[in-house]
Amino acid sequence: MISIKNLSYGYPNGTIVLDSINIELRMGEFVALVGSNGCGKSTLARHLNGLLKPIKGSVEIMGMDTRNQSDIWKIRQTVGIVFQDPHIQFIGSTLEEDVAFGLENLALPGIEIRRLVSEALAITGLEKYRYSSPASLSGGQKQKAAIAGAIVMGSKFLVLDEVTSMLDPSSSKEILDILLSLKKKGVGLLYITHRVEEALLSDRMIVMDKGKIVTDDTPIAVIKKLGQDNYLFELPPLLKLALKLDEAGILQLHSHLLSPYTLAEEICQSL
């Protein structure tokens, strides 16, 4: 489990950016984190593998405190982080080398490294790019490669910081499908996004504002609670319509209503 308790943080000579954050994330759980630009999401992400340390409170990864420097290597094996722009993360001259990079420090036999890399490339659908240069991959493939580099280490948790924000809808969907398959394998996901339609796929949706958690509940409960006029996230039009119909007692809001077909069918049935 990841356990964040009363976490507060401010950058040197800046104001407070995270203010008493409390979050628990279990293995196999998919938690979406949304909030306006600058509310502290990426700063929170950087706390989860010890890149930043709390000023107050604590972050524990499977019982390991991120302030404990002797656990940092194990913590980074346990929690993988993928950022919005994957370019800076590539080091190898082929994808295979790149994905294997983190394993080098584990002193594993070559055959085992190749097996783990094959597995990670299969999960992310990148087998045929094994010997390609990472620089030649598309944006979506680069994000998949970054995910492969994290899961090859056997990460129990993945933190994804706006990884689809530069991708087209079909690549975004492929990434989300990979994440849902990882969740099934027991990986815990903290998925930072601007898109409510992506957050709807999660088990829990956490909304942040100005360094604080506003709410932490199922996506449908959060959307009902904050309503259509909140300034923290934008509802896609279909969801806005579904929410209005829910408020009018015509149908019940649920996550499949993002399909025009399902929404139209439910409206027909209720009239």
Ligand X SMILES: Nc1ncnc2c1ncn2[C@@H]1O[C@H](COP(=O)(O)OP(=O)(O)O)[C@@H](O)[C@H]1O
Applying CB under 6 A, does 78 fall inside the site for ligand X? no
H or E stretch including 17?
strand 16-25
Residue 266 CB, nearest approach to ligand X (Å): 35
* Residue 236 contact among ligand X, Mg ion, none, beta carbon within 5 to 8 Å by kind: none
3-state secondary structure string across the chain: CEEEEEEEEECCCCCEEEEEEEEEECCCCEEEEECCCCCCHHHHHHHCCCCCCCCEEEEEECCEECCCHHHHHHHHHHEEEECCCHHHHCCCCCHHHHHHHHHHHHCCCHHHHHHHHHHHHHHCCCHHHCCCCHHHCCHHHHHHHHHHHHHCCCCCEEEEECCCCCCCHHHHHHHHHHHHHHHHCCCEEEEECCCHHHHCCCCEEEEEECCEEEEEECHHHHHHHHCCCCCCCCCCHHHHHHHHHHHCCCCCCCHHHHCHHHHHHHHHHHC
H or E stretch including 34?
strand 30-34
* Residue 143 contact among Mg ion, ligand X, none, beta carbon within 5 to 8 Å by kind: none
* Residue 186 contact among ligand X, Mg ion, none, beta carbon within 5 to 8 Å by kind: none
Site mask, ligand X, residues 18-37, x = CB under 6 A?
Answer: -----------------x-x
Q: Binder to ligand X among 2, 17, 25, 175 (CB under 6 A)? A: 17
Backbone torsions φ then ψ of 57, nearest 5 degrees: 80, -165
Q: Which region, judged by CB under 6 A, interacts with ligand X, from 40-48, 64-72, 165-173, 236-244?
A: 40-48
129 versus 233: smaller Cβ distance to ligand X: 233
Applying CB under 6 A, does 54 fall inside the site for ligand X? no
* Residue 40 contact among ligand X, Mg ion, none, beta carbon within 5 to 8 Å by kind: ligand X
Residue 240 CB, nearest approach to ligand X (Å): 23
Applying CB under 6 A, does 147 fall inside the site for ligand X? no
Applying CB under 6 A, does 231 fall inside the site for ligand X? no
37 versus 70: smaller Cβ distance to ligand X: 37
Applying CB under 6 A, does 164 fall inside the site for ligand X? no
Cross-strand pairs, 216 = 206
Site mask, Mg ion, residues 20-59, x = CB under 5 A?
Answer: ---------------------xx-----------------
Applying CB under 6 A, does 41 fall inside the site for ligand X? yes
The site for ligand X (CB under 6 A) is made up of: 11, 14, 17, 35, 37-43
The site for Mg ion (CB under 5 A) is made up of: 41-42
